[in-house]
Amino acid sequence: MRSKSGFAPYLALIAAVFQVGLSQGAQRGQTWREPLDPFAYGLLLVGPLMIVLHRKFPISTAVVIFLATYVYVWGGYPYGGVFVSPIAMLFLLVLRRHRLVAWILAVVTIVVFIVYPWATTQPQRGLFHDLAVSSFVLLVMVAAELVRIARERRAQQQRAVEEETRRQASEERLTMAQELHDVLAHNISLIHVQASTALHLIDDNPEQARTALATIKTASKEVLGEMRSVLNVLREGAPRSPTAGLDRLDELIERSGLEVMCKRIGSRPLPPSVERAAYRIVQESLTNAARHAPGSAVSVRLEYGEREFVVRVTDTGATKPAVLSESGSGNGIPGMRERAAALGGTLVAGPSGAGFQVEARLPLPEETS
């Protein structure tokens, strides 16, 4: 990619060609002015040279260009091409954040070109000449300011787009981290519960221990698949489609190792975010039931309303001693509440008779026909 400074030589070359060529043409039409001589050509080439050096010496090169222009005009040489470099310099000053210098030079130029005809008794002096000079210089400055504003607006829009892209990427990473946390928490808890059950029953009830070990095998395969899916997304940098939805609820219930009855009331399409949150809430509720209420019967109720989707998971309480010695991390219910709150919903969890109940209400958009 060409650097910004690489544009200066081309601009200087264009300015040199136009200044010399236009001045030679103006000389034929302005016979009352002094003919071009080596000194005049030297003054015409000062501007392009200063444009090349402008990025390194912005203020001094601008002053030199305008001084050379003033000397050229006061020398009586033909008007025309000599103004190309000053105009280019005003634009460069404004665009490179030297606006004050540009406006000062513009005002000084107006004064010089108004005083010049009166001081040298030139025939074109008068109110029309003064207004024409002032209007032209101010028009150049207004054009430069408009270009500056347009460039800054484009840069601001580009920054906004980049910031939005970074924000979306950050949210995507956070979502993937949360998904991975939920998958790991559920499956490892399930593996832990079933392993403890298998150890407890291996001598007295080997068939039930065999069932627990089969559940461990299935859960470990599931968690490995989920981790591989997330890691592949991280490697590829592609958008991640939700892997957890209510279409996989039966599979989740089958792997829970609990006696679960699932009932759906109504039916309607759900936004992917609501489906994912509902799935994870049911998943976490089943994990808590397996951990704290082994042997309980669990009911899962899904109500598809017009304005909200209700998820209710209720267990009947433990019917046999818990096989876990620890009570867990304690992050399950707060995590479910965060998921519901992120969608503008609510989640209530607490005792229900001898058991425990989790109820989440997630708002839904209006259905479109």
What is the SS3 assignment for 224? helix
Whether the Cβ atoms of residue 86 and residue 65 lie closer than 8 Å to each other? yes
* Kind of pairing between the strands at 297-304 and 346-352: unpaired
Sequential DSSP letters for 112-158: HHHHHHHHHT-TT-SHHHHHHHHHHHHHHHHHHHHHHHHHHHHHHHH
| CA dist 348 → 112, 275, 288, 356 (Å) | 80, 18, 15, 11
Main-chain phi, psi angles of 101, to 5 degrees? -60, -40
Tens of each residue's pLDDT in the chain, 369 residues:
344 556 778 888 888 888 888 888 877 877 777 888 889 888 888 888 888 888 889 899 999 999 998 998 888 888 888 888 899 999 999 998 899 999 999 999 999 888 887 777 666 667 887 888 889 899 999 999 999 999 999 989 988 888 887 887 777 667 666 766 666 666 666 676 667 766 676 777 777 667 777 777 776 766 666 666 666 655 555 444 445 678 888 888 887 778 899 999 988 888 888 888 899 899 889 888 887 887 789 999 999 988 999 999 999 887 665 544 344 444 578 888 888 888 899 999 999 888 899 999 999 987 655
Edge-to-edge strands of the sheet including 297-304? 259-265, 297-304, 308-315, 355-363, 346-352
| CA dist 102 → 69, 91, 93 (Å) | 15, 8, 6
Whether the Cβ atoms of residue 343 and residue 279 lie closer than 8 Å to each other? no
